[in-house]
Amino acid sequence: MRLKNKTALITGGSSGIGRETAILFAREGARVVVVDVDDARGNETVDHIREQGGEACYVHADVSKAEACANMIAVAEKTYGALHILFNNAGIMHNDDGDAVSTEEAIWDLTMGINVKGVFFGCKYGIPALRHAGGGSIINTASFVAHLGAATPQLAYTASKGAVLALSRELAIIHARENIRVNALCPGPLRTELLMKFLDTEAKKQRRLVHIPMGRFGEAKEMAQAALYLASDESSYVTGTEFLVDGGITAAYVTPE
């Protein structure tokens, strides 16, 4: 078991990448703190883990709020004694997110609040907990669009993921000597509820698929496997990376310097 005796906190754990990662981490021996605002589905994730013989608990938290993030970390430490893995995964992709002209300020602020402040607050309150545990792994969900931009305009989302990427790099440098690793997981286009709601027509879907060398959307389970590597001791010399799991889309459109 690759995460035996470890405690992992996963935001956005009710669906998509977060849910699949919570289930996989528990299967690999971790005690999992599932965090979300969707209480029903968050508790479903916990119930599923427990039915499979794993350990898990649920915490309601709006990650754009400092006090909520402080509480989720406190619950993790109080419930399981320590925190070793922090997966700042919660994020939104709003249907009204478009180009600079069409995107309203409220959509920009909402996206930045969850996608960027949520990572900042997770690290602000999570890093002291990792220090208490003697080190650990932080995984922040960015995106391939932080490298390429998006074929279908989603400016706030793209900018937010660029911020997550930059934030992850700097934190990796700052905390490298503390045995705290920080990496950004950069998924390609996935067949998740989040993206499928945004790509709500066949034309939009095909506009993405045509750019992916593998010719298909990725699956949340594939991202969970990537997160498992970054969370485990197998990646003990890996920090500050942009872990692209994108079906080849970045390689196809980025020319090496």
- Mean pLDDT computed over 96-124: 96
Inside any domain, residue 162 = yes
Q: In the prediction, which pLDDT does 254 show?
A: 65
Inside any domain, residue 253 = no
Q: In the prediction, which pLDDT does 256 show?
A: 56
**What residue type is assigned to position 130 of the chain?**
L
Q: Which residue has the tokens 């990572």?
A: 119
139: containing domain:
7-244
pLDDT band for 205, please (50, 70, 90 cuts): confident
Q: In the prediction, which pLDDT does 247 show?
A: 92
pLDDT digits (tens, 9 = 90+) for 7-24: 999 999 999 999 999 999
Inside any domain, residue 157 = yes
Inside any domain, residue 252 = no
pLDDT band for 199, please (50, 70, 90 cuts): confident
Q: Rounded CA gap, 241 and 142, in Å? A: 11
Please indicate whether residue 190 or residue 205 has the higher confidence score (pLDDT).
190
> Please, are residues 137 and 85 in contact by the beta-carbon 8 Å criterion?
yes
Tell me how crowded residue 228 is: count the other CB atoms within 10 A of its CB.
Answer: 22
* CATH code of the domain containing 90: 3.40.50.720
- Mean pLDDT computed over 29-37: 98
The DSSP symbol for 189 reads S
Q: Rounded CA gap, 21 and 34, in Å? A: 10
Tell me how crowded residue 5 is: count the other CB atoms within 10 A of its CB.
Answer: 11
- Mean pLDDT computed over 196-216: 79
Q: How far is CA 175 from CA 119, 237, 246, in A?
A: 16, 13, 27
pLDDT at position 162 over 80:
yes
Inside any domain, residue 257 = no
Tell me how crowded residue 75 is: count the other CB atoms within 10 A of its CB.
Answer: 18
Q: Rounded CA gap, 229 and 225, in Å? A: 7
> Please, are residues 37 and 92 in contact by the beta-carbon 8 Å criterion?
no
Chain mean pLDDT for the chain: 94
- Residues taking part in catalysis: 157
pLDDT digits (tens, 9 = 90+) for 124-159: 999 999 999 999 999 999 999 998 888 778 899 999
- pLDDT above 90 covers a percentage of the chain that reads 80
> Please, are residues 200 and 95 in contact by the beta-carbon 8 Å criterion?
yes
Q: How many domains does the chain have?
A: 1
Please indicate whether residue 95 or residue 99 has the higher confidence score (pLDDT).
99
Identify the three-state secondary structure at position 229: helix
pLDDT at position 202 over 90:
no
- Mean pLDDT computed over 35-64: 98
Inside any domain, residue 94 = yes
pLDDT at position 42 over 80:
yes
Please return the burial class of 180, using the count of CB atoms within 10 Å of its CB with bins 0-12, 13-18 and 19+. buried
pLDDT at position 209 over 90:
no
Question: pTM of the predicted model, to two decimals?
Answer: 0.94
Nearest one of 59, 78, 79 to 69, comparing CA atoms: 59
pLDDT at position 244 over 80:
yes
- Mean pLDDT computed over 200-229: 87
Inside any domain, residue 255 = no
pLDDT band for 116, please (50, 70, 90 cuts): very high
Q: In the prediction, which pLDDT does 115 show?
A: 98
Rounded CA Rg of the chain: 17
Inside any domain, residue 30 = yes
